Structure 1
Amino acid sequence: MIPIRDHNPSLRVPYITFALLGLNLTVFLIMWPLRSDEAALAQIYYTYGAVPQHVLQGNGVETLITSIFVHGGFLHFAGNMLFLWIFGDNLEDLLGHLRFALFYLAAGIGASMVQVVADPSSSVPIVGASGAIAGIMGGYLLLFPRAQVDVLFIIVIFFKVIPFPAWLMLLIWFGLQLFGGFTAGGAQGGVAYWAHIGGFVVGFVAMLPLWQRLGGADYWKANDGHPNHPAARYRFQKTRIPPTRRNKHNR
């Protein structure tokens, strides 16, 4: 279940979103040659990642920011950048460039702090932009609950793009994080579920004042939960990949 685009175009160039994409890509490319050197890679994670034990002792507080730009691998990096690309420009459109940059950092720091509090004895570094991007998703849910998001479903050899309202896609994602947070605990399996949960809640709450200034529930009614500008129309709205079924004689 992979979101590939929304139908909510930006009305101005999202310079901060582009800058964040570029900065994350630069850091990722700098780290790429070290993938074969586990010791050097571990040193980077422990130097720039947020280690809960250290942060609670007042050491490495700056890592609450630096950790947002360090990723664990290609899929980790690519997934985060995809979500940033889809949802980030719209919040930047409403907040403005500077306020969006501050919002992104605040969501990332808040997300890491929730993970630190949830797993205070952990010595595993927290890295990645997931918490900050979760904050963007929380804000997006509040402001554009019915904006259309195209989601790619991949089930074995079956591919299909299905349009989802943003509220459904984002709440499914949030529900999965809650399930992981309560069942796995901490950062089991390499996923800091509570950072995702914390970032999402921080983003949602931080966007409440703007939502209220826009009219609150009246803003939803006026636009039926959609952006207050025409939705984007793509040339190919439906996938042309036909569904493939297994031959019933195959085992």
Structure 2
Amino acid sequence: MIPIRDTAPCNSRPYVTWTLMAICIVIFIAMKLMPFEQSNRLLFLYGMVPLRYGNPDWAAHFGLPNDYHFSFISNLFLHGGWSHLIINMWFMWIFGDNVEDRMGKVNYLNFYLLCGLLATAMQWYFDPMLAIPVVGASGAIAGVLAAYFFLYPMERVILWVPIFFLPIIIHVPAIGFLGLWVIIQLYKGTTSVIFEGGAADVAWWAHLGGFIAGGLLYRLFLKKAPPQ
């Protein structure tokens, strides 16, 4: 099922959402134009490598300086491949504008970054020995999805179901579509932990961490209603 758009009205232009998307896209393309060695080095420097923070000797051996956990934020603007980037930006395009509309621009930016930070921290907690970079806006976007889940539960998400490439379009409530998304993340995340040797190639716990953070915190960032 591929979401095409939603039906929730938006009363303002989502400049912060657009700007965050533009930063991610520009950085991704710039890194694609670099030599592989250089772009790979940047991924390790600014992606969140969990083992870097649990084993300082290992980090020093591989030339990763103490960045005081800056990568817990900087990783949100890096992506590992075209599909990774496109999926993240597509979800942000569909769901981010409405959440920004309800929060206001400054609050929305702070909410986005905080959800991303907490999402990255949860991934680090559950996979502290990982020696490859965790990158992507997925955790922060998961926080945005959680806010949408609670703010617009009955708004319709229009989905394309690609069965034999037929144009099958269905409308489902946001609570159903995003609820299914959470169940998939929880299944994948717990599977990667329970089954020994089942290292995940996707930061499932960052997705869950971002969604939990968003669900718990979104009310604190909503615009205050004007006095009657």
Same fold (TM over 0.5): yes
Contact between 1:150 and 1:163, CA under 8 Å: does it hold in 2? Answer: yes
Cα deviation, residue 209, structure 1: 4.1
Q: Which residue of 1 aligns with 2:21?
A: 21
Q: What amino acid does structure 1 have at the position aligned with 2:182?
A: F
Contact between 2:191 and 2:198, CA under 8 Å: does it hold in 1? Answer: no
Q: 2:214 aligns with which of 203, 213, 222?
A: 203
Structure 1 residues 104, 56: closer, same or farther in 2, change over 3 A?
farther
Cα deviation, residue 156, structure 1: 4.0
Contact between 1:53 and 1:123, CA under 8 Å: does it hold in 2? Answer: yes
Cα deviation, residue 169, structure 1: 0.2
The structure with more radius of gyration: 1
Equivalenced residues, count: 211
**SS of equivalent residue, structure 1 residue 155:** coil
* 1:57-136 aligned within 5 A: 59-60=66-67, 61-136=69-144
Q: What amino acid does structure 2 have at the position aligned with 1:129?
A: A
Instruction: Report the TM-score when normalising by structure 1.
Output: 0.79
Return 5+ residue gaps in structure 1 as ranges: 215-251
Instruction: Report the TM-score when normalising by structure 2.
Output: 0.86
Q: Which residue of 1 aligns with 2:201?
A: 190
Return 5+ residue gaps in structure 2 as ranges: 57-65
Contact between 1:17 and 1:89, CA under 8 Å: does it hold in 2? Answer: yes
Measure the CA separation in 2 of the matches of 1:66 and 1:14. Answer: 22
Contact between 2:108 and 2:221, CA under 8 Å: does it hold in 1? Answer: no
Q: What amino acid does structure 1 have at the position aligned with 2:192?
A: A
Q: Work out which structure has the larger RCO, using CA pairs closer than 8 Å and 6 or more positions apart in sequence.
A: 2
Which stretch shifts more, 185-194 or 123-132? 185-194
Cα deviation, residue 95, structure 1: 0.7
Measure the CA separation in 2 of the matches of 1:85 and 1:180. Answer: 25
Q: Which residue of 1 aligns with 2:171?
A: 163
* 1:207-222 aligned within 5 A: 207-209=218-220
**SS of equivalent residue, structure 2 residue 162:** strand
Structure 1 residues 18, 91: closer, same or farther in 2, change over 3 A?
same
Q: Which residue of 1 aligns with 2:32?
A: 32
Contact between 1:149 and 1:164, CA under 8 Å: does it hold in 2? Answer: yes
Measure the CA separation in 1 of the matches of 2:214 and 2:87. Answer: 19
